[in-house]
Amino acid sequence: MKKLLFIPLLVVAALMGNTSSVQAQVLDDVYVKEHVPSRKPVPYKFLRESDAMYKKRVWRVIDLREKINHPLYFPTTPIGDRRSLIDLLIWGINTEGLTAYNTDDDRFSQPMSRTQIETNMGGGMQTITIQDEDGNDMTTEVESEILTSEVKQYWLKEDWFFDRQHSTMDVRIIGLSPIRFYTKGDGEGEGSEAAVRKSQCFWIYFPEVRRILANHEVFNEGNDAERRTFDDVFFKRMFSSFIIKVSNVYDDRAISQYSLGEQSLLEADALKKQITDYEQDLWEY
């Protein structure tokens, strides 16, 4: 009789012991995602110097407030395996050895430390002014958290070139830089106003980050089963942007240095047309 009672107890103990392993094997999907985590970036075509018969360096802005660019901005906080582009870049810097470069120039010559990155992102120790009980101003230091949702633009540095070996106009992205929008000032007191400012966070050498971009998905509004990667978005030019500068004899001056407002947009379109017209002028119709 004692043996018969002992057997059910063993069965119950075994089931209870397997509870943790069953919970660990919960799959929040209908299949295991194996394709994207093992993907490699599509290699660029080999280009000889003698085959590049035309080349123009272009700087452009991707504004994440445009609807077509929302997959690069959302989610503002990670949801499962979904991350925003800036969260992915920060993760790559902290865990994958991705190198961030100083914003003083875009030549990728001065690597940045994590402390510098944190400061540029609005984190670390910040000095603020507060009032004591008697109404006197006093300064104190507080630790601020990084808000990746403040990154609302990206600068792209890219080269457009005509490859005469393949008779095509092509483009290669060279660098990527997140732009942070933040509010400085609380608008309280005489002469104080809350102003929205923007600053560059760091530069990323794009060929280095492609291996990370190719292994992480971007949300596809039309089909959850066809989650394209961040590398697909840039490789296939699935974003909206506008030109802010092209290489020129005047120390590569930006459009904003000699044009304002609507004229800047018209100038950007004119520079874009110059590049596309070069390819079209090579053909006879």
pLDDT at site 122? 87
Chain centroid to Cα 159, Å, comes to: 19
As a whole number, mean pLDDT of residues 46-61 equals 96
What is the value of pTM for the model shown?
0.84
| Model confidence pLDDT, tens digit, residues 28-45 | 888 888 888 889 999 999
As a whole number, mean pLDDT of residues 9-22 equals 49
- pLDDT at residue 124 is higher than 70: yes
CA distance 259 to 104: 23
| Model confidence pLDDT, tens digit, residues 154-213 | 999 999 999 999 999 999 999 999 999 998 765 444 444 568 899 999 999 999 999 999
pLDDT at site 231? 97
pLDDT at site 18? 52
| Model confidence pLDDT, tens digit, residues 73-118 | 999 999 988 999 999 999 999 999 999 999 988 999 999 999 999 9
| Model confidence pLDDT, tens digit, residues 22-32 | 455 788 888 88
Q: Among residues of the chain, what percentage have pLDDT more than 90?
A: 66
CA distance 228 to 216: 8
- pLDDT at residue 7 is higher than 60: no
- pLDDT at residue 139 is higher than 70: yes
Phi/psi-derived region of residue 122, left when phi > 0, alpha when psi is between -120 and 50, beta in every other case: left
| Model confidence pLDDT, tens digit, residues 223-239 | 988 889 999 999 999 99
Side chain identity, residue 263: Q
Closest CA to 153 of 66, 89, 247, 264: 66
As given in the structure block, the two tokens for residue 284 are 């006879």
CA distance 272 to 171: 13
Band the pLDDT of 140: cuts 50, 70, 90: confident
* The three-state (H, E, C) secondary structure of the chain, written as one string: CHHHHHHHHHHHHHHHHCHHHHHHCCCCCCCCCCCHHHCCCCCCCCCCHHHEEEEEEEEEEEECCCHHHHHHHCCCCCECCECCHHHHHHHHHHHCCCCEECCCCCCCCCECCHHHHHHHCCCEEEEEEEECCCCCEEEEEEEECCCHHHEEEEEEEEEEEEECCCCEEEEEEEEEEEEEEEEECCCCCCCCCCEEEEEECCEEEHHHHHHHHCCCECCCCCCCCCCCEHHHHHHCCCCCCEEEEECCCCCCCCHHHCCCCHHHHHHHHHHHHHHHHHHHCCCCC
As given in the structure block, the two tokens for residue 108 are 């990728």
Closest CA to 216 of 238, 231, 201, 197: 231
pLDDT at site 16? 53
Q: pLDDT averaged over the chain? A: 87
Tally of residues, the chain = 285
Q: Report yes or no: 259 and 270 within 8 Å, Cβ to Cβ.
A: no
